[in-house]
Structure 1
Amino acid sequence: MDIKAAKRMDVVPFSGIRKIMEKGVQLEKQGVKVIHLEIGRPDFDTPVNIKQAAKRCLDEGKVFYTSNYGIPELRKAITEKLATENGVSYDPDTEVIVTVGLSEAIFDVLTSLLDAGDEILVPDPVWLNYIHVPRLVGAVPVTYNLLEKNNYQLDIAEIERKITSKTKMIAIITPNNPTGGVLNKDVLEKLAAIAIKHNLIVLSDEIYEKIIYDGNTHYSIASFPGMKQRTVTLNGFSKAYSMTGWRLGYMAAPAAIIDASVRMHQYITTCALSFGQYAAIEALKNSDDSVSGMVAEYQRRRDYVVQAINGIDRLSCQKPGGAFYVFVNIKQLNRTDEEVAEYLLHDAGVTLVPGTAFGDNGAGYLRLSYANSYENLVEACERIKRSIEKLQ
């Protein structure tokens, strides 16, 4: 039988991150020691108190379906967090959904709000879910530039130029994946004014908000005047609390957006992990010390990696203000990012992601995740240095 995928799948390539990861795994099967710097996964265990909360719920039999929206206790905890930390008040009954990771939240809101032909402004480079999910429904992602020379701040004039009568949404990710850039308050204020002027929905991905350094401050654009009613705030537990495998995210937005998104959510997943939702309450309420400890270690690693990379001839990088990625500039090597990533995999046994996995502006860059042990990072940077020195 000749089985063909739906035509819509033609616009959905395999993840560039997973491609390089799988190649590394294959080398490991051959006995090669590979240091994985491609995956955006905290290497810390989930804090003990969070795991204990999940175990208690298992013992208490909290293992059944929950409300499609998520358990009331977690939704209340999320709204308390957003009010206290982000300066935005939400109704836990109508303005919050708990999702199966941030990925599902992105899928839900984009597929439930975008029609064929609608345009969404998306940064370049970006985590490519924001490109491919709109394409699945026939919407058009229109990219705007995040450039190293501008410290990865968006250009307000460019945003204004790219808005058309078809523009419905604009996506921002701060701190950013893959650059580690953090959008400044004045930039967000100007963007808010544009969103209000042109009646745009803003999709604000804040999954890395707690992983921030050097006195930087995270600002939620929904907290700015006139913005709550047009902002979808996306967040979750994977990065800050090292809960990637728990698959828990959430969306906070006006009730009309939640109403549309929860209907998509109902048909995809029904609900998020029941006992995991109770553990997420523990994460929000009693894990600040654990998060602070992890962030301090990320900063130590970041400082080492930035110094090490900038000490390698023909490589350079900026010091990121947040997340746990360094976007390494390899343009002086006069090779494509795919070629350099492949070379470093086989010559150095280190996996880094080609920048073009995140968009056209990623050409000439590699994303390095320092969510790995300090010792592994030291060895990886030494391997990279030796390999680059061999390149003519």
Structure 2
Amino acid sequence: MEAVKGGFPSHYTLPVGMYELRCALAEHIHERTGLAIDPSRNVIVTPGSDSGLLFAMMPFLEAGDEVLVPDPSYPSNYLNCKLLGAKAVHVPTWYDDNYRIHIEELEKRVTPHTKMVLLTHPNNPTTVVYRKDNLEELARFIVRHDLVLVCDQAFEDHIFDGIEFVSPCTLPGMWERTVTVCSLSKGYGLSGYRMAYLYADDHIMDVFYGGAVNVLGAPCTASTFGAIAALKDKTILPEYYERLDRRRRLAYEILGSAPGVKMRMSESGILSWLDVSALGTSQEVADYLMEHAKIMVNQGTPYGEQGAGFIRIVTACFAKDEDAVQRFERIKAAFTELARQKGLIT
């Protein structure tokens, strides 16, 4: 607010992001990963992680290249490849083993045209946090085939149940071949501010710095000051963690007890991922909820071939738990009626 009153936010900031913000981000990254990040060499600010993700991929891909994408995954992971003239190669993962990445499935699909692995970690939509041993296997595969990793860590700020979160760029041989995409939207609840950032080895970052003004423009100055204030306030993330932990438990208790529904408690972030295949297709169930519960949810199919029969629910849409519970109960009631129509209950 002091910055707004002073008038400075009406001016451009640097295309790569204001130095004070990059310093705050470097400290934030160091606290999470232990990496010694140079704010002048290793970090760039982007207007949200969606544009940041595309920007991260741009230097590495051209027509005919292939990108390995564990499936299910964020829909932009598939579309961005297409936008850049490359091909997204779906690598299946499965609900039954908590979506572990199987290296043999990657090996089946790697070709001379493969340039990149694109990973969303923690995963969107499944909320899975990939375990260290699985990431170490993935890192060895990437090094062995001389690939690049673009890792979208938009949901990294809230990891539950004591699960260890490992940034792949910290693993042996990975710093010089990884671009990490992060966001203030999810962890801080600041999606409207459009503040995200990339960090990488300085040889990679030189290319991003060179293209920033042409592709990204300059980050929003007012949002920059908001981001600096948020990063300096160390009370925000713990408070939000407690709220989101309550919310995922409420979602699991209510929605997971509905007939015809299978789900695990979320491992991260603000989402729940439900197997509703016993009740119908993703579209049939989403349409039924829209008509009978008056609530919009995400169909699973845009998240990949393994998303068929699933739906995604954003459990943090409401600030108050009681408002969320009311919606969860409406969804459960609609599930129950649909299960009755399907003959799953009498």
Do these two structures clear the TM 0.5 threshold for a shared fold by scoring above it?
yes
Does the aligned pair in 2 maintain the 1:88–1:228 contact within 8 Å?
no
Please tell me whether residue 358 in structure 1 is matched to residue 288 in structure 2. Answer: no
Partners of 1:86 and 1:285 in 2: how far apart?
Answer: 18
Task: State the distance in 1 between where 2:252 and 2:180 align.
Answer: 30
Corresponding position: 1:370 with 2:315: yes
Q: Which residue of structure 2 aligns with residue 228 of structure 1?
A: 175
Contact map agreement 1:111 1:134 (CA 8 A) in 2:
no
Letter in structure 1 aligned against 2:101: L
Q: Per-residue deviation at 1:161?
A: 2.2
Code of the aligned partner of 2:313: L
**8 Å Cα contact 1:112-1:264 kept in structure 2:** no
TM-aligned CA deviation for residue 293 of structure 1: 1.2
CA contact (8 A) 2:67 2:115 kept: yes
Q: Distance in 2 between matches of 1:278 and 1:382?
A: 39
Q: Deviation string for 1:31-77 (max 9, x for gaps)?
A: xxxxxxxxxxxxxxxxxxxxxxxx11122232211211111111122
Aligned-residue offset at 1:208:
1.0
Per-residue deviation at 1:177? 1.0
Determine which of 257, 271, 278 is the counterpart of 1:311: 257
In structure 2, list runs of 5 or more residues that go unmatched.
342-346
Partner deviation per Cα, 1:98-150 (whole Å, 9 max, x = no partner): 01011111111222321111111112111111111110121011111232111
Cα displacement (A) at 1:268? 3.1
2:149 corresponds, among 197, 202, 216, to: 202
The percentage of aligned residue pairs carrying the same residue is 32
Q: Would you say the 8 A contact 2:251–2:328 is kept in 1?
A: yes
**Secondary structure, counterpart of 1:351 in structure 2:** coil
Paired residue secondary structure (2:262):
coil
* Distance in structure 1 (CA, Å) of the matches to 2:202 and 2:152: 18
Alpha-carbon separation, structure 2, partners of 1:166 and 1:256: 23
Letter in 1 for 2:204: I
Secondary structure (helix, strand or coil) at the match of 2:181 reads strand
1:383 Cα shift? 1.8
User: What is residue 184 of structure 1 aligned with on the other side?
Assistant: 131
- The answer to whether the 8 Å contact 2:187/2:269 transfers is no
Unpaired segments of 5 or more residues in structure 1? 1-54
Alignment of 1:339-350 (within 5 A): 339-350=284-295
What is the alpha-carbon root mean square deviation over aligned residues?
A: 1.5
Residue matched to 2:215: 268
d(CA) in 2 for partners of 1:386 and 1:76? 49
Using the TM superposition, name which of 72-81 and 345-354 deviates more: 72-81
Q: Please tell me the residue identity of whatever aligns with 1:73.
A: E
Distance 1:265 1:133 in 2: 18
Counterpart in the other structure of 1:175: 122
Instruction: Tell me if 1:254 matches 2:191.
Output: no
Structure 1 counterpart SS, 2:278: helix
Structure possessing the higher relative contact order (Cα contacts under 8 Å, 6 or more residues apart): 1
Distance 2:81 2:204 in 1: 16
1:124 and 1:187 map into 2 onto residues whose CA distance is 15
Measure how far apart 1:316 and its partner are.
Answer: 1.4
What are the within-5 Å matches in structure 2 for residues 329-348 of structure 1? 329-333=275-279, 335-348=280-293
1:60 aligns with 2:6: yes
Q: Give the TM-score, by structure 1 length.
A: 0.82
SS in 2 for 1:328: strand
Asked whether the equivalents of residues 127 and 272 of structure 2 are also in contact (C-alpha less than 8 Å), the reply is yes
How does the TM-score come out when normalised to structure 2?
Answer: 0.93
> How far did 1:164 drift?
1.4
Contact 1:97–1:252 at 8 Å: present in 2 too?
A: yes
Q: Which residue of 1 aligns with 2:344?
A: none
Mapped to 1, the partners of 2:17 and 2:329 lie a distance apart of: 46
Once residues 266 and 324 of structure 1 are traced to their aligned partners in structure 2, the CA distance between those partners, rounded to angstroms, is 32
1:143 lines up with 2:90 in the alignment: yes
